[in-house]
């Protein structure tokens, strides 16, 4: 009979050292634990408006068909995305969330002895993706909470296989200007895959921002990832995708599971993509909520990291302790001590009443 430790030693070295991703606490779990109702969750950067009604209708209709396998080639969704993004549909790789795509990229290009570069305060999935394939994680220091692209380019060695960059970054909400990315891509050797994770692209309106899709033709080693989980409001269905050179997509397609996006998710994503009015409203509600929260924090003299996403890192002192106290007020936010940001908590922007609940609970706790 194996002991726990012996069972652990059966796993690959990478998996033995792996710490699993810590997701936001589900509302039902908190309500069950505390015996309360009406908890608010502002912990996973979800869309507070829910899904687009058109996506919901498409999902309901698709339910009648779930005895069938989904279209493993995601033909219709890829066509709709190709049209919207002005790329070829062969350049798109569908994912069970963009998380799935990030892991597929790591598995496709890196293994034991290889290096994967990402930034301090970079998205928590990157170290997991690197570790799971047995690659060495190379973490470059941030500047003012943001990616230091010069340090990242300088960290490239002959063993570097993949560089993960989130623009904008979660959890810090910092972002990179077009000219910075352009200069970075020019410096990185074309044998290194550069992943620009644009999970929050839809929220961006800064004049100096540009989606990395702009450089795909020039840099075949570039992969752009996007998701339906945030502004499109489909986090629970798990749909994301990569856009890349079509030969790179061909490689990713060999590694991904053949039916990695389910039938309901495919239908909903296609409908969500067409619902531009919903997307505009989601972006607008987010901008209003961000302004609301920042204004009140400014008035109270509470520090935060300015963010362009649908979330904000607020400096609260002892993050983990304040997180626990907020839970007891029925408000779920996200601790970020796992990122080395123990003085901060990340709050997702909600609708106005949810933001008020958070602010009131926070001031109560901090008082
Ligand atoms: C939320 C998020 C993702 C992925 O979410 P999925 O639900 O897996 O599509 C990817 N990157 C960043 C930076 C994120 O914050």
Per-residue pLDDT tens listing for the chain (367 residues) = 789 999 999 999 889 989 888 888 999 999 999 888 899 999 999 999 999 999 999 999 999 999 999 999 999 999 999 999 999 999 999 999 999 999 999 999 999 999 999 999 999 999 999 999 999 999 999 999 999 999 999 999 999 999 999 999 999 999 999 999 999 999 999 999 999 999 999 999 999 999 999 999 999 999 999 999 999 999 999 999 999 999 999 999 999 999 999 999 999 999 999 999 999 999 999 999 999 999 999 999 999 999 999 999 999 999 999 999 999 999 999 999 999 999 999 999 999 999 999 999 999 999 9
Radius of gyration of the chain (CA): 21
Among 147, 170, 228, name the best residue to mutate to test ligand 1's pocket (greatest count of ligand atoms within 8 A of Cβ): 170
Instruction: Check if the beta carbon of residue 194 is closer than 8 Å to that of residue 248.
Output: no
The residue written with tokens 């991703």 in the block is 21
Ligand 1 centroid from CA 98, angstroms? 6
Report the C-alpha gap between 307 and 166 in whole angstroms: 13
Instruction: Check if the beta carbon of residue 145 is closer than 8 Å to that of residue 306.
Output: no
Instruction: Check if the beta carbon of residue 366 is closer than 8 Å to that of residue 303.
Output: no
Ligand 1 centroid from CA 292, angstroms? 24
User: Residue 81 burial by CB count (10 A; 0-12/13-18/19+): exposed, middle or buried?
Assistant: buried
**Sheet architecture: strand order including 136-140:** 92-95, 240-244, 222-227, 193-197, 160-166, 115-119, 136-140
Q: Whose CA is nearest to atom 12 of ligand 1?
A: 199
Residue 120's alpha-carbon distances to 20, 64, 143, 187, 338, in angstroms, are: 18, 45, 9, 20, 11
Ligand 1 centroid from CA 47, angstroms? 13
Among 93, 98, 100, 310, name the best residue to mutate to test ligand 1's pocket (greatest count of ligand atoms within 8 A of Cβ): 98
Q: Whose CA is nearest to atom 10 of ligand 1?
A: 199
Ligand 1 centroid from CA 7, angstroms? 31
Report the C-alpha gap between 210 and 56 in whole angstroms: 30
Instruction: Check if the beta carbon of residue 40 is closer than 8 Å to that of residue 330.
Output: yes
Report the C-alpha gap between 163 and 156 in whole angstroms: 9
Ligand 1 centroid from CA 1, angstroms? 40
Residue 34 corresponds to which tokens in the numbers above? 């505390």
Bridge partners for 194 per DSSP: 163, 222
The three-state secondary structure class of 133 is coil
Ligand 1 atom with the shortest distance to the CA of 239: 9
Structure confidence at residue 226 (pLDDT): 98
Among 106, 197, 349, name the best residue to mutate to test ligand 1's pocket (greatest count of ligand atoms within 8 A of Cβ): 197
Ligand 1 atom with the shortest distance to the CA of 45: 1
Ligand 1 centroid from CA 349, angstroms? 16
Structure confidence at residue 36 (pLDDT): 87
Instruction: Check if the beta carbon of residue 249 is closer than 8 Å to that of residue 92.
Output: yes
Residues with CB under 6 A from ligand 1: 45, 97-99, 123, 166, 170, 197, 199, 227, 229, 235, 240
Q: Whose CA is nearest to atom 2 of ligand 1?
A: 199
Structure confidence at residue 295 (pLDDT): 98
Ligand 1 atom with the shortest distance to the CA of 240: 9
The residue written with tokens 């505390």 in the block is 34
The three-state secondary structure class of 53 is helix
**CA pseudo-torsion sign 230, 233, 238, 240:** negative
Ligand 1 atom with the shortest distance to the CA of 99: 8
């Amino acid at each position: 009979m194996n002991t726990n430790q012996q069972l652990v030693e059966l796993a690959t070295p990478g998996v033995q050292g792996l710490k699993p991703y810590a997701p936001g606490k589900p509302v039902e779990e908190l309500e069950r634990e505390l015996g309360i109702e009406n908890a608010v969750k502002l912990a996973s950067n979800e869309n507070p408006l829910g899904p687009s009604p058109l996506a919901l209708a498409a999902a309901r209709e698709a339910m009648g068909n779930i005895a069938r396998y989904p279209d493993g080639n995601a033909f219709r969704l890829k066509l709709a995305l190709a049209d919207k993004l002005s790329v070829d549909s062969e350049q798109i790789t569908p994912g069970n969330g963009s998380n799935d795509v990030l892991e597929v990229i790591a598995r496709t290009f890196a293994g034991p002895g290889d290096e994967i570069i990402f930034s301090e305060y970079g998205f928590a999935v990157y170290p997991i993706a690197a570790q799971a394939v047995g690659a060495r994680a190379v973490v470059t220091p941030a500047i003012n909470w943001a990616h230091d692209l010069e340090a990242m380019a300088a960290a490239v060695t002959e063993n570097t296989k993949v560089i993960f960059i989130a623009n904008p970054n979660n959890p810090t909400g910092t972002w990179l200007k077009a000219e910075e990315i352009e200069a970075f891509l020019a410096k990185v050797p074309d044998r290194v895959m550069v992943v620009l994770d644009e999970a929050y692209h839809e929220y961006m309106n800064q004049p100096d921002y540009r989606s990395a899709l702009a450089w795909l033709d020039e840099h075949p080693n570039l992969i752009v990832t996007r998701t339906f989980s945030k502004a499109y409001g489909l986090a629970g269905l798990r749909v994301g995708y990569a856009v890349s050179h079509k030969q790179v997509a061909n490689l990713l397609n060999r590694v991904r599971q053949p039916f990695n996006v389910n039938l309901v998710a495919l239908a909903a994503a296609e409908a969500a993509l067409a619902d531009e009015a919903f997307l505009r409203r989601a972006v607008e509600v987010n901008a209003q909520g961000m302004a609301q929260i920042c204004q009140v924090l400014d008035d109270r003299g509470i520090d935060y990291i300015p963010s362009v996403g649908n979330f904000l890192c607020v400096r609260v002192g002892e993050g983990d302790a304040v997180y626990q106290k907020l839970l007891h007020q029925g408000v779920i936010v996200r601790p970020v001590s796992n990122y080395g940001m123990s003085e901060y908590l990340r709050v997702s922007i909600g609708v106005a009443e949810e933001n008020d609940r958070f602010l009131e609970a926070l001031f109560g706790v901090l008082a």
